[in-house]
Structure 1
Amino acid sequence: MRAHYLQHVPFEGLGSIEPWLVENGFTVNATRLFAGEKLPAAEGVDFLIVMGGPMSVNDEQQHPWLVAEKNFIGEMVAMGRPVLGICLGAQLIASAMGAPVYQNPRKEIGWFPVRGFSPGDNNVFSFPPSTTVFHWHGETFDLPSGATLLAESDACRNQAFQIGPSVIGLQFHLETTRQSAEAMIENCASELVPAPYVQSSEEILVASPERYRAINALMADILSYLSPR
């Protein structure tokens, strides 16, 4: 099986996703859009993962590759291939499916809980009723047509959604490791302006190893759910 990820900045990589893919027999390739790399043929991708980044999906003038990327995501969804979007990646899925993406009233950066829904549908991924996850986002989106809301938080209503059996978007970062959290702080520290849902770097990095293991385990559950069968 062939997994492919779209990377928008050097410091937001796969995190805990990469060892899971390797252990489960995937070959892993990437398009580093920030470096001008070209998108692959959709037919050659069995599982698409769209990573995060500090830009907006609306920044098409500054980043012209966003247009082609959204078209590619839409093509993968139309083909029925599994697609996972994380933070910017979730916003890109929403935009590719025709939903607006815009500033959320509050930035959400750090460790905050999300509440999962249980739609009672075996074809929809079920999140825990409450779990603390890692956030780093300032924008949100309307749910795409036909999407099911999977999770919400106090700061942001649309935290996770699913389209059909094989597309999931997450506003938050379940792939985060201690190393990737440090990299985001190093590169985006200017965003850590005190606010109700913005933690300091010290508050972020005090998280225990158990907290990282918990979110990485939940990410593994989502990857297993989406994996081509």
Structure 2
Amino acid sequence: MSKPQVLILTHAPWERPGRILDALETCGLEYTITSILKKPKADLPDFKDLAGLVLMGGPMGALDYDEYPGLKTESKLAKAAIVAGKPVLGVCLGHQIMATALGGKLRPGKAPEIGFGTVQRLENSHEFLPMWGKKATVLHWHNDCVTLPAGATPLAKSDLTKVQAFRFGSALGMQFHLEVTPALFDAWLSEKEMVKDLKKSDVARLREEYPEKDALIKPFASAVFEGFAARCSTHAKTLEEAKPKEKKIVIS
């Protein structure tokens, strides 16, 4: 029988899990990283063995099913995992996939939100998103946004985006990025798809700002991802305990 594992679904080579992996590895969790964008019938780990699900970011729209049929599979998988009480984490595009799977609406944002900024904590913020002050520094990089699914709890907002984070049962969706390490950030700024709407001066400014801003983001990221990893670890133990025990055959 397979061991419980966390499934990480990516949507672009440069949108890697970064700090999320650090937290999973610290908890000793096994994980699989794959992309199913072009695969309407994807070969995925057995659902019953999933200790958690992570949906990463990407440049496409959450409802671009015709071009990326795997997105529909991800939507169904996200909803099934949430209904089953499995820990789920959605980042940017992943947040939008989660929201639309649960009945939220996908809409263009008021304006692109790119670069370092803040999100504001809402009064009903939860331990899934532990913010120590009224605001937290994050990295924004998106155009689309979502409405809050019915039954979800809003956790954070910004001036341009009403739903920056939400919780629905076992799931946490974040429109912003906490996972980006120095190496990942450098890869982003070197990727044409990521900087196509930015001036060279904007890229230079972001590169200059990163060390100071990341020093603020890193402890926030650690708290969020360590919490997610802990929930996955707890679920993995539950799955292991639920497996039928092999009977020992005694030959007398």
TM-score after normalising by structure 1: 0.89
Residue aligning to 1:217: 219
Q: Secondary structure in 2 aligned to 1:84? A: strand
1:192 matched to 2:192: no
1:57 matched to 2:56: no
Cα distance per residue 1:68-96 (max 9 Å; x no partner) = 11001111011100001000000000011
Matches for 1:93-172 after TM superposition, within 5 Å: 93-119=98-124, 125-127=129-131, 128-164=133-169, 166-172=170-176
When structure 1 is superposed on structure 2, of 213-222 and 30-39 the one drifting more is 30-39
Contact 1:7 1:30 in 2 (8 A): yes
Residue aligning to 1:24: 27
Question: Matched residues in 1 for 2:18 and 2:127: separation?
Answer: 27
Q: Structure 1 residues 44, 132: closer, same or farther in 2, change over 3 A? A: same
Contact 2:104 2:147 in 1 (8 A): yes
Which protein has the larger Cα radius of gyration, Structure 1 or Structure 2? 2
Residue aligning to 1:11: 14
Residue aligning to 1:173: 177
Contact 2:11 2:58 in 1 (8 A): yes
Contact 1:117 1:126 in 2 (8 A): no
The Cα shift of 1:35 comes to 6.7
The Cα shift of 1:32 comes to 1.7
Contact 1:140 1:156 in 2 (8 A): yes
When structure 1 is superposed on structure 2, of 182-191 and 19-28 the one drifting more is 182-191
Question: Matched residues in 1 for 2:145 and 2:210: separation?
Answer: 28
Question: Matched residues in 1 for 2:43 and 2:187: separation?
Answer: 25
User: Partner letter of residue 86 of structure 2?
Assistant: R
How many corresponding residue pairs?
223
Question: Matched residues in 2 for 1:131 and 1:38: separation?
Answer: 38
* Amino-acid identity (%): 30
When structure 1 is superposed on structure 2, of 182-191 and 170-179 the one drifting more is 182-191
When structure 1 is superposed on structure 2, of 86-95 and 42-51 the one drifting more is 42-51
TM-score after normalising by structure 2: 0.81
For the aligned residues, what is the CA RMSD?
2.1
1:83 matched to 2:88: yes
Question: Matched residues in 1 for 2:130 and 2:123: separation?
Answer: 6
Q: Secondary structure in 2 aligned to 1:28? A: strand
User: Partner letter of residue 6 of structure 2?
Assistant: A
List alignment gaps of at least 5 residues for structure 2.
235-252
User: Partner letter of residue 203 of structure 1?
Assistant: R
User: Partner letter of residue 105 of structure 2?
Assistant: P
Q: Secondary structure in 1 aligned to 2:116? A: strand
The Cα shift of 1:208 comes to 4.4
